[in-house]
Amino acid sequence: KAGVTQTPRYLIKTRGQQVTLSCSPISGHRSVSWYQQTPGQGLQFLFEYFSETQRNKGNFPGRFSGRQFSNSRSEMNVSTLELGDSALYLCASSSSGATYEQYFGPGTRLTVT
């Protein structure tokens, strides 16, 4: 099976812009979770989608949003970008959402200037 894929792998945006990141889960996986990884804060949970429904959300401002499509692909959107949004954004997929089943993608490196 192909692993979790994320596009684009690298992105440079300027403050105030918005950005959309994409995640394609492993075939058959219905759950997609998103995490933000920064040197200062480490890995922090953003949200989790299962069968197009957001089941769980982390402690991030409303500028961070996501969605999941019927084919389980997921997108996350960040509006009004801030310098502090520069991070590696990881998505992980699993068949049921159980954390021990999560397989991580390579991440999208977002740089905000």
Partner 1 sequence: AQRVTQPEKLLSVFKGAPVELKCNYSYSGSPELFWYVQYSRQRLQLLLRHISRESIKGFTADLNKGETSFHLKKPFAQEEDSAMYYCALTNQAGTALIFGKGTTLSVSS
Print the binding letters for residues 18-57 with partner 1: x by CB under 8 A, - otherwise: -------------x-x-x-----xxxxx--x-x----xx-
74 binds partner 1 (CB under 8 A): no
73-36-3 Cα angle (round to 5): 40
In the complex with partner 1, the residue whose CB is nearer, 105 or 112, is 105
Beta bridge partners of 65: 77
89 binds partner 1 (CB under 8 A): no
Determine the 3-state secondary structure of 7 from DSSP: strand
All residues at 6 or more sequence positions from 53 whose CB lies less than 8 Å from its CB, including other chains: 68
In the complex with partner 1, the residue whose CB is nearer, 72 or 81, is 72
Measured distance CA(4)–CA(26) in Å, rounded = 5
Determine the 3-state secondary structure of 103 from DSSP: strand
Which range of residues in 10-18, 22-30, 73-81, 102-110 is near partner 1 by CB under 8 A? 102-110
In the complex with partner 1, the residue whose CB is nearer, 21 or 81, is 21
- Return the residue matching tokens 């429904």: 53
Residues that bind partner 1 (CB under 8 A): 3, 31, 33, 35, 41-45, 48, 50, 55-56, 58, 90, 97-100, 102-107
